[in-house]
């Protein structure tokens, strides 16, 4: 299929392509196409942009809008037929890859007491952030972890994992986060259903959490050689306490307040090779300055209320709301309360961006670091 015009990306700037179509060139372009080739100058300005162009748009998903739809799926489909009952977040700019932002997938999953999904494995890296309910658990390669609200759990690339809710629990909703779109884009995804549909729990419940129980304390015999954290679960209570302690001695970041990255305690590196996560605290009344950087972020409000300004657009949020910040979008956060702190959980692709040497960052220079709100 031959294009109508080839000079739509012209720029009249030294060092950029600026070739007008002509009958001779159009004939030449047609010949090139026949040979499965093209003329670089017809696309150079498009494929070499001056700065990152994100296909994603900023979106806020309100939990009060989504919750009933998530719960309704319990009645609409069975786990046997649906696999998992999940409402996924579908960024208008990324519908082709079912991503919430960039190459990151996210969904809200619901499970009833006594349900247990089948075990599977995939090359994508996954995480869960618990939103409500009691009795949820996850089994990862034979290690079972129990989960409460605002706990964070990982199920890394290649692990057998399955989720369930105890018989004496309540309906549970959590956010799944995965790099499925990234791994598909890398043309490297694999999927397998566990041959027994379920795996045996081979170790005491929460054993790895107990093994990695203190900051700077490493079990003698950990024997861990996997490229992801052996600490599968990061509990909310300990995380929040750490933030509060840190807030007492540190000003934090001008852009992010007091922020703790969840890391692999064995290496200090990210929890998984492609996806990272963090929890940050905004002090009462704190309003951070704006910056932008490469990498895509999906936030969930873990505590409190406030707003964020993303590329000039204001999004007001409260607990359990989810919003995204696309790559290279300016963003700043504000805590709306003068007395309570606010906490934002986030997961992102910075481990990928860093591994590829693609991280760049820029503070907003104008207006004392605050964006004019236009939307």
Task: Scan residues 79-98 and list those touching a second copy (CB under 8 A).
Answer: 81-92, 97-98
The residue assigned the tokens 């299929």 is 1
Determine how β-strand 161-165 pairs with β-strand 136-140: antiparallel
CA distance 351 to 320: 25
Interface with a second copy includes 74 (CB under 8 A)?
Answer: no
Element (H, E) at 293: strand 291-293
Region 287-346 residues binding a second copy, contact defined as CB under 8 A: 294-296, 326-328
1 or 365: CB nearest a second copy = 1
Which x/- pattern over 48-67 shows residues binding a second copy (rule: CB under 8 A)?
A: xxxxxxxxx--x-x---xx-
Among residues 44, 148, 149, 364, which is the contact residue for a second copy, using CB under 8 A? Answer: 44
Interface with a second copy includes 47 (CB under 8 A)?
Answer: yes
CA distance 101 to 244: 30
Region 113-172 residues binding a second copy, contact defined as CB under 8 A: 118, 120, 122-124, 157-158
Residues with Cβ within 8 Å of 284's Cβ and at least 6 positions away in sequence, in order, are: 335, 337, 338, 339, 340, 341
Written as six digits, the tokens of 128 are 């869960």
Element (H, E) at 322: strand 322-325
Full strand arrangement of the beta sheet holding 105-111: 105-111, 172-178, 126-132, 152-155, 233-234
Which x/- pattern over 186-225 shows residues binding a second copy (rule: CB under 8 A)?
A: xxxxxxxxx--x-----xx-xx--xxxxxxxxxxxx----
Interface with a second copy includes 110 (CB under 8 A)?
Answer: no
Element (H, E) at 80: helix 79-82
133 or 295: CB nearest a second copy = 295
Among residues 26, 74, 149, 266, which is the contact residue for a second copy, using CB under 8 A? Answer: 266
171 or 235: CB nearest a second copy = 235
55 or 148: CB nearest a second copy = 55
Stretch that binds a second copy, among 29-37, 134-142, 283-291, 331-339 (CB under 8 A): 29-37
Written as six digits, the tokens of 3 are 């294009």
Interface with a second copy includes 245 (CB under 8 A)?
Answer: yes
Interface with a second copy includes 77 (CB under 8 A)?
Answer: yes
């Amino acid at each position: 299929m031959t294009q109508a015009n080839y000079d739509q990306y012209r720029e009249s700037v030294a060092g950029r392509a600026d070739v007008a179509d002509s009958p001779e060139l159009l004939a030449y372009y047609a010949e090139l196409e026949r040979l499965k080739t093209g003329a670089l100058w017809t696309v150079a300005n498009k494929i070499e942009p001056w700065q990152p162009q994100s296909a994603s748009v900023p979106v806020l998903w309100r939990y009060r809008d989504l919750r009933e739809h998530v719960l309704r799926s319990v009645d609409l489909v069975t786990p046997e037929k649906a696999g998992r009952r999940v409402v996924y977040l579908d960024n208008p700019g990324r519908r082709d890859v079912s991503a919430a932002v960039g190459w990151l997938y996210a969904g809200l999953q619901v499970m009833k007491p006594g349900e247990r999904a089948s075990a599977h494995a995939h090359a994508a890296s996954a995480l869960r952030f618990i939103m409500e309910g009691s009795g949820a658990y996850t089994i990862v390669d034979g290690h079972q972890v129990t989960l409460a609200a605002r706990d964070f759990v990982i199920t890394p690339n290649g692990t057998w994992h399955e989720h369930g809710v105890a018989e004496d629990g309540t309906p549970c909703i959590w956010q799944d986060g995965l790099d499925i779109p990234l791994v598909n884009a890398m043309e490297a995804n694999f999927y397998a259903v566990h041959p027994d549909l379920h795996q045996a729990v081979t170790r005491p419940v929460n054993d790895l959490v107990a093994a990695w129980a203190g900051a700077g304390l490493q079990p003698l015999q950990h024997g861990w050689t996997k490229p992801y954290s052996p600490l599968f679960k990061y509990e909310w209570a300990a995380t929040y306490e750490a933030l509060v302690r840190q807030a007492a001695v540190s000003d934090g970041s001008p852009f992010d307040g007091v922020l703790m990255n969840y890391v692999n305690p064995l290496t200090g590196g990210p929890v998984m090779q492609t996806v990272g996560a963090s929890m940050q605290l905004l002090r009462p009344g704190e309003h951070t300055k704006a910056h932008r950087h490469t990498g895509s972020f999906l936030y969930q409000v873990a505590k409190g209320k406030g707003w964020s300004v993303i590329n000039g657009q204001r999004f007001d949020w409260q607990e359990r709301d989810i919003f995204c910040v696309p790559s290279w979008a300016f963003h700043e956060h504000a805590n709306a309360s003068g007395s309570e702190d606010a906490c934002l959980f986030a997961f992102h692709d910075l481990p990928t961006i860093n591994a590829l040497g693609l991280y760049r960052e820029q503070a907003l220079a104008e207006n004392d670091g605050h964006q004019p709100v236009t939307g």
